[in-house]
């Protein structure tokens, strides 16, 4: 009888540990797969894939030879990203969809399942943000409705369309891109944060129901990223931000490790601070509210004060 090959034994042992870790929430970070291993022979649907974080994530998955289902309204932009993915060695498919229309979501989801059989990983990245103090929103209830439609109802509708097949197959991963604002309770974003909080609560509620079907849910509390979504707020031109590639790295880490949550140290500190001393955190955040102007697309941006620069650096990634 030949002695066991030590190298093969070690490789098989590592693979077994990785597979086992994927069945335990949070354990995936101990022995994380490579991105190539995580997306190989799997379909990854990304909403909001035509620009920013969604585009950068799609390209990273393409580079890892994954199959990417690109979802957004702009078919021309998606076609160009599909071409770039294929140049990188991946496979891309365009699935145009107006995510504000539930019927169009149903159509797109049915189309994707018919063409690809299943969606293994769903990245709910598309979103809409509004930066406006509540005293300027008394007559703008429609802003809350529109934000909730895209940031909450759209991903929930898509999850409800794709989840049955995931559960039937005994495997699936849903990644919801949320915001550090939920952890820091940032002012001026009541419409945006409420919609993201609703999606967070939905995911936390269904998570225990579907975990034994092999379906995992990860929430990414994304810090401020320099994307077209923040471009109208001119004061962000002088804020330290993440690049779309850094935002994509957070999502790719979520794909590899399948944790319950991905967040920055500052976001976790803010969440802990509010749990321990919410009144004290309100005072700090109130200072930020007064320090940074209301802003607007046509606002002329003046040179930042020393206090503004210091505060922005100390809270890098928070969208004040």
Q: Quick one: three-class SS letters along the chain?
A: CCCCCHHHHHHHHHHHHHHHHCCCCCHHHCCCCCHHHHHCCCEEEEECCCCHHHHHHHHHHHHCCCEEEEEECCHHHHHHHHHHHHHCCCEEEEEECCCCCHHHHHHHHHHHHHHHCCCCEEEECCCCCCCCCHHHCCCCHHHHHHHHHHHHHHHHHHHHHHHHHHHHHCCEEEEEEEECHHHHCCCCCHHHHHHHHHHHHHHHHHHHHHHHHCEEEEEEEECCECCCCCCCCHHHHHCCCECHHHHHHHHHHHHHHCCCEECCHHHHHHHHHHHHCHHHHHHHHHHHHHHCCCCCCCCCCCCCCHHHHHHHHHCCCCCC
Catalytic residues: 192
At a CB cut-off of 8 Å and minimum separation 6, what does 177 contact? 53, 123, 124, 125, 127, 220, 222, 251
Q: Exposure string (b/e) for 119-132, b if CB count within 10 Å is 16 or more?
A: bbbbbbbbbbbbbb
């Amino acid at each position: 009888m030949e002695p066991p090959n030590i190298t093969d034994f070690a490789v098989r042992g590592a693979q077994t540990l990785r597979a086992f870790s994927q069945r335990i929430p949070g354990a995936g970070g101990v022995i994380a797969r490579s991105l190539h291993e995580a997306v190989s022979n799997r379909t990854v649907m990304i909403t909001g894939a035509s620009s920013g974080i969604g585009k950068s994530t799609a390209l990273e998955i393409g580079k890892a030879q994954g199959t990417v289902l690109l979802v957004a309204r702009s078919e021309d932009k998606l076609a160009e990203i599909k071409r770039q993915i294929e140049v990188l060695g991946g496979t891309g498919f365009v699935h145009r969809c107006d995510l504000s229309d539930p019927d169009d979501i149903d159509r797109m989801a049915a189309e994707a399942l018919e063409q690809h059989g299943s969606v293994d990983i769903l990245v709910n990245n598309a979103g809409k943000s509004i930066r406006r103090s509540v005293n300027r929103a008394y007559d703008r209830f429609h802003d809350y409705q529109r934000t909730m439609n895209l940031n909450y109802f759209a991903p929930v509708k898509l999850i409800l369309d794709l989840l049955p097949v995931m559960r039937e197959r005994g495997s699936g991963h849903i990644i919801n891109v949320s915001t550090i604002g939920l952890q820091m309770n940032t002012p001026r974003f009541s419409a945006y944060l409420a919609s993201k909080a609703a999606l967070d609560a939905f995911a936390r509620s269904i998570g225990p129901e579907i975990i034994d079907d092999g379906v995992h849910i990860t929430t990414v509390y994304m810090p401020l990223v320099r994307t077209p979504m923040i471009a109208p707020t001119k004061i962000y031109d002088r804020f330290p931000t993440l690049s779309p590639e850094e935002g994509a790295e957070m999502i790719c880490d979520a794909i590899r490790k399948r944790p319950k949550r991905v967040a920055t140290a500052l976001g976790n500190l803010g969440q802990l601070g509010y749990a321990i001393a919410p009144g004290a955190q309100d005072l700090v955040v109130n200072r930020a509210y007064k320090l940074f102007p209301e802003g607007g697309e046509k606002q002329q941006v003046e040179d930042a004060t020393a206090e503004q620069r210091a505060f922005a650096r100390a809270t890098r990634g928070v969208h004040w």
